Amino acid sequence: MRNSIVKAKLKRREPVVGVCLHLIDPSLHELVSLMGFDFIWMDMEHHGYTVQTASDLMRASRVGRTDIMARCAKGEYMRMGRMLEAGAHGIMYPRCQSPEEAAEVVKWSKFAPMGQRGFDGGNPDMPYCTMEVPDYVKKANDETWVLIQLEDPAAVDRAEEIAAVPGVDIIILGPADFSVLSGVPGQFGHEKVTNAIKKIAKAADKHGKVWGMPGGSVQRVKELMDMGARWSVIMADIIAVKNALEAAQRDLAPLGYTFDNQLTKAKSYMEKA
C-alpha cells in the first residue's frame, strides 16, 4: 500500500492543499498528480459517475504520488469501502450530524481493532494480494485518513464532540451548505459563517485534530492558514477552465471578436429576476 502524502505532511505539522476535479478525463487526474498537489478531491456525492469510473481515475492519478480524497454521500458504507479498495487514502464524509455518526464513519474506514472495515485485498490498495494480511491491515489503518464535514448549524454546535472521536483526523466546514441551511445562502463573509469557522477551529485545536475548509483563492487559503487551518482546496477544474475562457474572451474583445456567451445571458437574466 502506498504511503499517504497528506498523513505524512500533517504529522510534520505542514499544511496540505488539494484540487477538486469534476471532469472525468484520466489525463487531468494524471496531470494534477504529476504536478504534486497533496490530494485530489473526488466528489461522488454530487456527481453521477460510477465507482468503476472513479477507480479508473484513481489508477491514472497513481502515476504521481497525490492522495485521492473520495467524498461519498451520507450513509454510504458500501461505496466508501469500494473507494478505499480502489486506492483512496482519504474519506470525506458529508453532512455529519453527531459524534456517533462520525464514529460510524471511522468504523467503516478502518480495519479491526480500530474499526470493522471489510477485508478483501485483491484490489489496487493492497495491491492485488501482494502483502501479508497483518502488514496490510496495519498500514491501511495508519495511512487512511478520515475527514468529517460539518454543514448543518446543529452539527457545528457539536463540533467539539465530533472532534473528540478517535480516528477522526480532520474536521472542516462546508461553507456553501452551511450558508444555505443558516438562511444566508452564498454569504461566505457573514457572521454566522465566521462564527462557525471559529467553533470548528477551537474544537479541533482542543482535541489535537486538523481543521480547514475549501479556500478557492490563494488569498483565502492564506487567511485560513493565518487562523490555524492546515487543510484546504485551492480550485476546481471547471472553475479554472471557465475563468481561463472568460479571460480569453476579454482579451479578444478589443480585437473586434464578439461572443454569444449563454452563461453571461443566464446570469444577467437571473440578476434581473
- CATH number where 10 lies: 3.20.20.60
User: CA angle at residue 77 from 10 to 204, to 5 degrees?
Assistant: 30
Give percent above pLDDT 90 in the chain. 90
Cross-strand pairs, 41: 20, 69
Contact call for residues 125 and 144 (beta carbons, < 8 A): no
Looking at residue 81, what is its pLDDT?
A: 93
Tell me if 72 sits within 8 A of 80, measured CB to CB.
yes
Rg (CA), the chain: 20
Confidence of residue 38 (pLDDT cuts 50, 70, 90): very high
* pTM of the full structure: 0.93
Joined together, the cell numbers standing for residue 128 give 492485488
Q: Mean pLDDT score of the chain, rounded to an integer? A: 94
Q: Is the pLDDT of residue 272 over 90?
A: no
Q: Above 50 in pLDDT, residue 273?
A: no
Report residue 269's pLDDT band, with 50, 70 and 90 as the boundaries.
very low
What is the number of domains present in the chain? 1
Segment 116-129 shows an average pLDDT of: 95
Q: Which of 109, 93, 116, 102 is nearest to 144 (CA)?
A: 109
Distance between CA atoms of 45 and 71, rounded to whole angstroms?
6
- DSSP-derived 3-state class of residue 273: coil
Sign of the Cα torsion 191, 194, 200, 202 reads: negative
Please, which pLDDT band fits residue 270 given cuts at 50, 70 and 90? very low
In a 3-state reduction of DSSP, which class is residue 235?
Answer: strand
Report whether pLDDT(68) > 70.
Answer: yes
pLDDT of residue 77: 86
Q: What is the mean predicted confidence (pLDDT) over 26-48?
A: 95
Element (H, E) at 178: helix 175-181
What range defines the domain where residue 50 resides?
5-272
Instruction: Return the percentage of the chain with pLDDT > 70, whole number.
Output: 97
